Amino acid sequence: MVRDVAVIAFAQMPNVRGETVLNEVEMLMPVIQDARQRAGLDQQQIGFTCSGSTDYLSGQAFSFVSTLDGVGPWPPIQESHVEMDGAWALYEAWVKLQLGDVDTALVYCYGKSAPGPLHEVLSRQLDPYHVAPLWPDAISLAALQARAMLDAGKATEADFAEVVARSRRNALNNPNAQLAWDRHESDLLAEEPLVDPLRKHDCPPITDGASAVILAAGDRARELCDRPSWIRGIDHRIEPMALGLRDLTVSTSTRSAGEKAGVSAGPVDVAELHAPFSPQELILREALGLGDHGNVNPSGGPLAANPVMVAGLTRIGEVAQRIMNGTASRGVAHATSGPCLQQNLVIVLEGDG
């Protein structure tokens, strides 16, 4: 018997190229306070706290765990954290709530990509014997995937540019977006490639950011929120690490996660997809059966702001927010991790009535 769990609050900080004044704890505290305030809860009333980040972004051991200072974990709290995007911290919190001993959870995540050599840092997650010693950057890996899409006839460079133009135009309506502009596709296609076939604008910006979500179960959600964003389905699948073992033009793990989360069990009013590189949005649309759905990444998506360790939870928050404020009834959010969409989490959210 699955317990009904909902997102009842979402908060994020404005996404910036580099937060050079505040340290991670100072940066994160207002976001956590905002989320709790929106839910009308203080820390002592929250049953479980789970967070996502990684010490490798800051280069300091225990930097992630030390952000608990900003939570105010006293009296002692039930807490866990994952070396992943906050979307996975949310998944763990959802599982915890299923056990029935707590009714609310705080999920937070943050990442400062600016202080370190982000591309070198991300390469540390690759095969340590055969791939990491070559230090391939994330743009190069995504470019391999983009070339595979072009060779397979599944997309053109113009299709990539369309994703870019639409995402950054949508971002003009998002006060938290880092990169927002209105440029025509032909203008974008005239630019020189960065790592062929990707152009700079096909790639996400480097972002420092943080976001937080409050989850609540059953009646507790109804007490705290007029219109909870219920989690109707959640699933996570992973593909092999080696790029050669995968078909880079399809995301079989996203398709599988989407089926198990029940994406097609109802209409999708809004979708927020964690596609840091423009060709990946096309791959994810196909995997989730979204086709040419007209309301993908209204926030601008990761092309507008891509705080590593945060962008996935923010996708979930953006869908949940639209359900909570009544502009959508049912939506899909997706989070990814690993090179070229290696592992994917899909979540289906729905409001009452």
Residues within the interface to other proteins (CB under 8 A) = 19-26, 29, 32-33, 43, 58-60, 66, 68-76, 112, 115-117, 119-121, 124, 128-137, 140-141, 143-148, 151, 192-198, 240, 242-245, 248
- Residue 96 CB-half CA count within 13 A: 23
Q: What gap in Å lies between CA 317 and CA 326, rounded to an integer?
A: 14
Measured from the CB of residue 266, what is the shortest distance to other proteins in angstroms? 32
Measured from the CB of residue 62, what is the shortest distance to other proteins in angstroms? 12
Residue 125 three-state SS:
coil
Measured from the CB of residue 133, what is the shortest distance to other proteins in angstroms? 5
- In this complex, which beta carbon is closest to other proteins, that of residue 196 or of residue 226? 196
Give the burial class of 287: count Cβ atoms within 10 A of its Cβ; 0-12 exposed, 13-18 middle, 19 or more buried: buried
Measured from the CB of residue 163, what is the shortest distance to other proteins in angstroms? 18
C-alpha separations of 349 from 43, 100, 197, 240, 353 in Å: 25, 21, 35, 28, 13
- In this complex, which beta carbon is closest to other proteins, that of residue 115 or of residue 218? 115
Measured from the CB of residue 142, what is the shortest distance to other proteins in angstroms? 8
- In this complex, which beta carbon is closest to other proteins, that of residue 129 or of residue 353? 129
Measured from the CB of residue 90, what is the shortest distance to other proteins in angstroms? 20
Give the burial class of 217: count Cβ atoms within 10 A of its Cβ; 0-12 exposed, 13-18 middle, 19 or more buried: buried
Q: What gap in Å lies between CA 70 and CA 26, rounded to an integer?
A: 7
- In this complex, which beta carbon is closest to other proteins, that of residue 140 or of residue 329? 140
- In this complex, which beta carbon is closest to other proteins, that of residue 20 or of residue 156? 20
- In this complex, which beta carbon is closest to other proteins, that of residue 202 or of residue 269? 202
Measured from the CB of residue 3, what is the shortest distance to other proteins in angstroms? 28
Q: 56: part of which helix (H) or strand (E)?
A: helix 55-58
Contact present, 329 and 306 (Cβ < 8 Å): no
Tell me if the bond preceding 75 is cis, omega within 30° of 0.
yes
- In this complex, which beta carbon is closest to other proteins, that of residue 43 or of residue 264? 43
- In this complex, which beta carbon is closest to other proteins, that of residue 44 or of residue 291? 44
Q: What gap in Å lies between CA 247 and CA 258, rounded to an integer?
A: 18
5: nearest Cα among 157, 187, 216: 216
Burial state string for 20-52 with b = 16 or more CB within 10 A and e = fewer than 16: eeeebeebbbebbbbbbebbebebeebbbbbbb
Measured from the CB of residue 176, what is the shortest distance to other proteins in angstroms? 21
Contact present, 97 and 3 (Cβ < 8 Å): yes
- Whose tokens are 């937080």? That residue is 212
